Amino acid sequence: MSLVRRATPEDAEEVLRLRQVMIDSMARSDPSTAWHTVSLPVLRERLAEDSSFAAFVVDHPERPGALAALVAGTLDYRIGGARNPHGIDGHVFSVATDPDARRRGYARACVEALLEWFRERGAGRVRLTASTEAEPLYRSLGFTPKPDPLLELML
């Protein structure tokens, strides 16, 4: 029996906590958690829908009510092309494991569940941004590095 399950609205606070664990591990991160108050009701709504967003989690084995690991992802439609004719892309983000639950395979199991969810919905490609520490995990799952011409505009 798999330890991984789809996150529910009741998991929203723990999902935000693990997202903050991920944010705090990144260089130049903003340690502020003030955004949690605004994000929480939106996250609860998204977790209640069977939409283009999904999060998979593992319950913490030593702390009832806490989560040990999280992965979240979205499906995006883009006009198809030669390499992805249906135009459905998966995007993986917010991969995090509680510091006291690391090295147990939880993140891998969550990512594998999300990849299966993408496959079931017809995604032809999955993309993510990897930290140096996580890159070996993603490469072992078949991800390959690509040049990134990404530009960003904050609205």
- What domain count does the chain have? 1
Domain-located, residue 153? no
Domain assignment present for residue 33? The answer is yes
If pLDDT is split at 50, 70 and 90, which confidence band does 1 have? very low
The domain of 68 spans 4-140
The pLDDT of residue 29 is 67
d(CA 7, CA 15): 8
Q: pLDDT for 33-75, tens place per residue?
A: 888 899 999 999 999 997 899 999 999 999 999 999 999 999 9
**pLDDT reading at 27 higher than 70:** no
As a whole number, the mean pLDDT across the chain is 91
* Residue 152 tokens, joined: 């960003």
Q: By percentage, how much of the chain surpasses pLDDT 70?
A: 94
CA angle 152, 98, 73 (to 5 degrees): 40
How far apart (Å, rounded) are the C-alpha atoms in residues 19 and 52?
19
CA distance 127 to 119: 13
Task: State both tokens at 81.
Answer: 């092309």
Give residue-wise pLDDT tens across range 96-125: 999 999 999 999 999 999 999 999 999 999
